[in-house]
Amino acid sequence: MHTAAVIPPPRTYHSKRMRIHLFCLLVFIALPFFDIIRFDIPKQRFFFAGQELWINEFAIIFFAIMFLMFSIAAASMLYGRVYCSYLCPQMIFSEASLRLEDRIKRFVTKRFIQLSPGKRTWLSRALFYAALLVGSTFLAFVFISYFVEPRDLLRRLLSFDIVTAGGFAGAVTTIFTFVDFAFVRTRFCTTVCPYGYLQGMLSDKQTLLVAYRDGVAKDKACIECGKCVRICHMGIDIRKSPFQIECIHCGECVEACDAVLARLKKPGLIHYTWGEKGEELSASGQGWLKRLGLRDAKRFAVMAVMLCYAGGLTVALSMRQQVQVRINADRTVLYRTNAAGEVTNTFRLQIENRGSEPAEVRIDLEGLPQAHVILSQNPLRIAAGSEYQGTFDVAVPPDAPAPGVNHFQLRSQALPKGEPQAYKMTFIAPQRKP
């Protein structure tokens, strides 16, 4: 008995992408507001995962950026342009702008049917630009919040400040955002963005891509409906080649073709496949480890470098000290005699409290008989996120130290928690008169 071929239901990538786009938008807004990722230029601080990093903690910032870059490279090698189609802000907002324009056009056509086509076009444009201006101002505000504290920025925005650097940057970014999402949109991806070209270097025979596979089965045949071309935001025809630099592997054409041919009880002709000739994503039977393809030298190298940066980041974060103390000898004058007749040497003290709680730092010494530390307060109280720079003296009765160089140790202790630190120092005393 003949049984009809089972046609799989049309695959749905559009709704999944839209949900991910919405999630990414919320993440994009939340990151600077909750200090998950924010580079505060006025304060010269880098906020990462709730930690306030100082600009001189370059190792952590470096490892974090490199890890992120290699993660994107590794994802591109395995899953093609998944970043472009699912996560890139330029793509998310370009598509949102296209949808907004389309909806406004349909709204005006429906509600203002009595107007002439020319007037409807004019009204649609005006409404679209007005809505886009509001959206661009909001996006520019969020973007600048990555570099300026959001509450401070809001205050500048509400007072129409375009004089200070933050306010001026916000105004310029608003204009760029408006022009970008009104006129440039996905053209940015094919002209300015280097990522598409980079993808060409990263992909290999196993990388996930979108391919047209007419003629693989007898009951498949393109009906030339052109839906796959019309739906493509990048303006290409996937049937020509799966390696077009414009293709961002979004899967919209896969879904469109499935939907068209399902009505004719035929399977779709466009698929996500592992390489041009590899198996289809929906039929993927390989385990994830095999799919990683680590026998390939390039894949292995990228993954290994990514893991090295992840390791470096973990080590750098675990070694991070909340309170950083530096002590150096001030040798502009070798020694002095104070009002009490003691011999003194001066030392420079720098304390950075990188934590979110106030801290106290006590300075003391050992190995120099009868010596004591002269500091305005000891322990010194340092507010959260602030820095102290100053000097203190080590004083010794005039007959106590040996003439010349005396070796001793200064010690710092951060309270309530913090490891004690020791600093090898020298105390210089005058030669005694015979």
The answer to whether 349 and 389 have CB atoms below 8 angstroms apart is yes
185 touches ligand SF4 by CB under 6 A:
no
Name the residue nearer to ligand SF4 (CB basis): 78 or 228: 228
CB of 229 to ligand SF4, least distance (A): 7
Task: Find the binder of ligand SF4 among 88, 139, 208, 234 (CB under 6 A).
Answer: 234
368-371's contacts with Cβ under 8 Å and 24+ in sequence apart are 368/394, 368/396, 368/401, 368/406, 368/408, 368/427, 369/396, 369/400, 369/401, 370/396, 370/397, 370/400, 371/395, 371/396, 371/400, 371/401, 371/408, 371/427
227 touches ligand SF4 by CB under 6 A:
yes
Q: Select from 44-52, 254-262, 273-281, 384-392 the region that touches ligand SF4 (CB under 6 A).
A: 254-262
225 touches ligand SF4 by CB under 6 A:
yes
210 touches ligand SF4 by CB under 6 A:
yes
- Crossing angle, helix 117-145 and helix 89-111, to 10 degrees? 150
- Residues 36-65 touching ligand SF4, rule: CB under 6 A, are none
**φ and ψ at residue 355, rounded to 5 degrees:** -85, 180
249 touches ligand SF4 by CB under 6 A:
yes
Nearest partner of 46 among 29, 25, 65, judged by Cα: 65
Name the residue nearer to ligand SF4 (CB basis): 139 or 202: 202
Nearest partner of 54 among 323, 308, 315, 314, judged by Cα: 323
95 touches ligand SF4 by CB under 6 A:
no
Name the residue nearer to ligand SF4 (CB basis): 270 or 316: 270
236 touches ligand SF4 by CB under 6 A:
yes
Nearest partner of 228 among 200, 250, 206, 208, judged by Cα: 250
252 touches ligand SF4 by CB under 6 A:
yes
The answer to whether 216 and 279 have CB atoms below 8 angstroms apart is no
Q: Give the x-and-dash track for 256-295 against ligand SF4 (CB under 6 A).
A: xx--xx-------xx-------------------------
**φ and ψ at residue 210, rounded to 5 degrees:** -105, 125
CB of 264 to ligand SF4, least distance (A): 9
CA–CA gap between residue 342 and residue 371 (Å, rounded): 10
- Residues 311-340 touching ligand SF4, rule: CB under 6 A, are none
CB of 283 to ligand SF4, least distance (A): 19
Q: Which helix (H) or strand (E) holds 365?
A: strand 359-366
- Residues 159-178 touching ligand SF4, rule: CB under 6 A, are none
224 touches ligand SF4 by CB under 6 A:
yes
Q: Which residues bind ligand SF4 (CB under 6 A)?
A: 210, 222-228, 231-232, 234, 236, 238-239, 247-253, 256-257, 260-261, 269-270
